[in-house]
Amino acid sequence: MVSYDFTGKVVLITGATGALGRVVARQFHQAGATLALCARDENLLSQWFADLALDPQHLLIGGIDLRLPEDCDRLARAVDDHFGRLDALVNTVGGFTAGPPVHETPLDEWERMLDMNLRTAFLVSRAIVPLLIRSGGGALVHVSGRAGLAGFAGGAGYSAAKAGVIRLTESLSAELKEYGINVNCVLPGTLDTPANRAARPDADCSRWVAPEVLGEVIMFLCSPAARAIHGAAIPVYGLG
């Protein structure tokens, strides 16, 4: 594992109770970062990070639904009020469900995929970017996906949303690099999570991407080593 030092850096991680968010939060914590963690489920957030909840250096913000602009604004205010600055935003919020063919897809299912993956990325970026600018620069990393590069049967909404995250990342990068803000996204293949193992019990999960490995790529993109990388969509496919 590559060693990073985020001592003195304030890092906001969204979706901190998710399979990826939990891992990334712990990785940044081990690297010395001061953390702001948010999630929809306040009780689950407190359970997963009981040690950080007792440490006033860090901030846990529950009850945040990134699909709601008012919640994103509340998140930005909480981080600003507590720390007065921010060095990095890592947005891990998203989700996938397989669906029927496009011609049989209900509108609400199409919109649900866009809301979970693209609307959330847009709204949290819109709310948090001003704080990054006021802080004098930093990093922003979104989680897109391999599906953002190529559609597949039963996944039109998800693929369209993840493609949108890539284009959003590129636009943000073009707008923000002059402020010293690096904006990039990662494109994981299948993540090795309990949910994916349960859904695909016969698959060779050794070829999937461990959340810890994806977390290392995210940490790299938030580190000074990635200071010349702007608007990239980094494939992290494992052996799949």
User: Does residue 113 sit within a domain?
Assistant: yes
Torsion sign over Cα 47, 53, 58, 60: positive
Which CATH number do you get for residue 182?
Answer: 3.40.50.720
| 5 occurs within a structural domain | no
Examine residue 1 and state whether it is found in any structural domain, yes or no.
no
Asked if residue 3 is part of any domain, the answer here is no
pLDDT value, residue 1 = 59
For the chain, what is the domain count?
A: 1
Domain residue limits at 55: 10-236
Cβ neighbors of 213 (< 8 A, separation 6 or more) are: 236, 238
Q: Along the 240 residues of the chain, how does pLDDT read in single tens digits?
A: 568 999 999 999 999 999 999 999 999 999 999 999 999 999 999 999 999 999 999 999 999 999 999 999 999 999 999 999 999 999 999 999 989 999 999 999 999 999 999 999 999 999 999 999 999 999 999 999 999 999 999 999 999 999 999 999 999 999 999 999 999 999 999 888 888 888 888 888 989 899 999 999 999 999 999 999 999 999 999 887
pTM for the whole structure: 0.96
Residue 34 belongs to some domain of the structure = yes
Structure tokens at 59: 């901030």
Residue 98 lies in a domain: yes
Q: What is the pLDDT of residues 147-173, one digit of tens each?
A: 999 999 999 999 999 999 999 999 999
Which candidate, 216, 213, 218, places its Cα nearest to that of 232? Answer: 218
Burial of residue 202 (CB within 10 Å: 0-12, 13-18, 19+) is: exposed
Helices (H) and strands (E) in the chain, counts: 9, 7
